[in-house]
Amino acid sequence: MRPSFESHLRQMNEIAKDKAKPDNSEEQRKKMDAALDYMIEKAAERFGTPEKTQETVFKLQKRKQKIMARLREQLASMDNPNPFGQESIPKNARRVFEKNGTLLCQTEQGEKAVTLGELLTDGDWDLAYHLDPESVPRAVRKKYFIEQAKREIMELLDRQIATQESQSEYVHEFKQEGYIRMVSQENQEQSGVYAERMVKNLLKKIAIDQDLDFEIIEADAYQDMELKIDFIIRRKAAARGVDVQTSDDDRIGIQFTSTNAPEVIQKKENQIRQAKKKLRPEERIRDIALVSIPMREIQALMREWKKNQTPGGPDKLWIDPVKAEIFKKLTQNLLSQEEIDTIAAKINPKRAAA
């Protein structure tokens, strides 16, 4: 997001935290309301938006505070379970338990093995789980709660950014329209959107389940619109060798397309060239790469998966050679060829054995 807007959100966050305190006096509440009114007025002038826009941004910030409060309660309850009541279970959540060292999910088709990577990414497909506190390791439950909160907060952050940018007089009207579509979530069921989510989650699961030294970071709405980044791959410091210096700057922005049509590729390459000129040091992104992986029958794959909505999402229906090829293309700008070949062999063991 814009650094100026990031700073603005931090200020809003402090006011939201103060207003949420239950022991505030009437005088304190009046002072905080006055401070908030002043902040909203000045922010509207600074960013060229109506004051109502800033009010909406603040309401979304308060919702983020509630998510963080819920997360703190969830983490605290793992060590101090409530003796007078049962743990709250989300609606339609599937029970997950551990048996003989394997995580299992109870589905309508019976017990299905589920990986940590699947548990942490399936929220993108609106799948919810209830992790049995008696059998599922504490570390797994903690990661699940944190990832759930991160996903919800990221959705609200994108709405804050899109709300702000779509109403700012300093943003070009064409981009305003793009941000408006983000707010309204138009075209969220297009094949391209599904394909992007599938490849991103496939890579996330591989990194988590094979304990690799990179992670996938969600791109926010501003990075999507201004820098044409769909998601970010960050190389971690682990397993890089004693003499190799790494930093949080070792990140690659990925622009993904599911077509190889020459006119589309050329257009996206031009967009990326322009986007690279806008990269700022605070983005901590050293490059932006275009990855083209032609895909067909995405809608058919989605329909097949939706019949039972099995753990792992629709990308789990891809065969191993397809998964390995996607992995190779997505990591070619980040990992060495030796690393890529080694991991691809684990993804597609039949090919490696041939």
Residue pLDDT, tens place only, 201-216: 999 999 999 999 999 9
- Please tell me the distance from the alpha carbon of residue 63 to that of residue 43, in angstroms, as a whole number: 20
- Residue at 152 is within a domain: yes
Give a yes or no: residue 26 inside a domain.
Answer: no
In a domain, 80, yes or no: no
Residue 270 falls inside a structural domain: yes
- Over residues 239-293, the pLDDT tens digits come to 444 344 445 557 999 999 998 899 999 999 999 999 999 898 888 898 999 999 9
Alpha-carbon gap, residue 135 to 96, rounded angstroms: 9
- pLDDT over 80 at 16, yes or no: yes
Judge if pTM exceeds 0.85.
Answer: yes
Q: Where are the extended beta strands (E) located within 102-239?
A: 102-107, 110-113, 129-131, 214-218, 231-235
In a domain, 36, yes or no: no
Residue 78 lies in a domain: no
Average pLDDT value for residue range 36-41: 95
For residue 126, the one-letter residue type is D
- Report the distance separating Cα 119 and Cα 117, nearest Å: 5
Residue 9 lies in a domain: no
Residues in the chain: 354
Q: Domain range spanning residue 313?
A: 89-353
pLDDT at 82: 63
Residue 5 placed within a domain: no
Cα first-last separation, the chain = 47
pLDDT digits (tens, 9 = 90+) for 72-106: 999 998 887 665 556 677 788 999 999 999 999 99
Structural domain count of the chain:
1
Q: What are 38's two structure tokens?
A: 């002043």
Tokens of 315: 């990308």
Whether residue 52 has pLDDT greater than 60: yes
User: Six-digit token pair at 59?
Assistant: 């309401």
CB 345 within 8 A of CB 352: yes
Average of per-residue pLDDT across 318-326: 95
